[in-house]
Amino acid sequence: MDIPRSFTIRESTHRIHNPLDDAKLAVLGRALRPAPGWSVLDLACGSGEMLCTWARDHGTTGTGVDLSATFLASARARAAELGVADRVEFVHADASGHVADEPVDVAACVGATWIGDGVPGTVELLRRSLRPGGLLLIGHPFWRLDPPDQAAVEGSHATGRDDFLPLPDLLAQFGALGCDVVEMVLADQDSWDRYVAAQWLNTRRWLDENPEDELAPVLRAELTDAPVRYARYQREYLGWGVFALMDR
């Protein structure tokens, strides 16, 4: 049970597996003001940066669930580095359908709404772990600009225009699900650059070290095209943000 190896190659040095950089992640924590002792459940937690840094900075506790054994090893190492290994734990499992044993103060899925087959299902899944009055965190893409054609859609890693919504429509969707939007922190083009360009460097270094690997031709072709495709389409048209929600 694991995620595709190509993903762990691209993001082998990432601590945050989305375009929210460490400064914006810290902004999110300060904005939400989690109290010491709050419990956080992070589904599809990746390398656990949010859980670890919030435990250090705000005194929270938490559990992260992820399919990637590689990323969870990084998460445990990060927890030890920050001195919070006694406050966070990481579970190697499919986050789809995972429900906490006890209600938590914050239930999060930051960038992996596939675990609930989209935003509505992910919101409902997170609700099953949340205490009354707690916070839901959803990380999700949106269209910054309306893509003019199918090339722009596919260049932004979507299959169709309806895969994502414009930001006002995404906020309205949260409302239609019975949630108040109480905070949001959005990626910008610079934080997108840092996230995506690091994938290119990771891929190139892996290719140099593994020229005979069966994945090498695939990743070589990807790296050849990725920078131009990103600059032409994704950087211009695709936004991304973390949205804090409370049930009405």
Q: Which of 86, 128, 88, 80 is nearest to 104 (CA)?
A: 128
Q: How many CA atoms lie within 13 A of 54 on its CB side?
A: 30
At 161 the pLDDT is 95
Residue 115 lies in a domain: yes
Residue 70 lies in a domain: yes
Which helix or strand (DSSP H or E) is residue 245 part of?
A: strand 238-247
Residue 24: which domain range? 5-146+161-187+239-247
Residue 226 lies in a domain: no
pTM listed for this prediction: 0.96
DSSP state string for 134-177: EEEEEEEEEESS---SHHHHHHTT-SSGGGS-BHHHHHHHHHHT
Give the integer Cα–Cα distance in Å for 66 and 126. 15
Residue 32 lies in a domain: yes
CA distance readout (Å), 70 to 3, 66, 76, 163: 9, 10, 10, 29
At 106 the pLDDT is 98
At 1 the pLDDT is 66
Number of structural domains the chain divides into: 1
- In this structure, what CATH number is given to the domain that contains residue 127? 3.40.50.150
At 133 the pLDDT is 97
At 2 the pLDDT is 80
- Alpha carbon dihedral 228, 184, 50, 5, in 10-degree steps, equals -30
Residue 196 lies in a domain: no
Q: pLDDT tens for the chain, 248 residues: list them.
A: 688 999 999 999 999 999 999 999 999 999 999 999 999 999 999 999 999 999 999 999 999 999 999 999 999 999 999 999 999 999 999 999 899 999 999 999 999 999 999 999 999 999 999 999 999 999 999 999 999 999 999 999 999 999 999 999 999 999 999 999 999 999 999 999 999 999 999 999 999 999 999 999 999 999 999 999 999 999 999 999 999 999 99
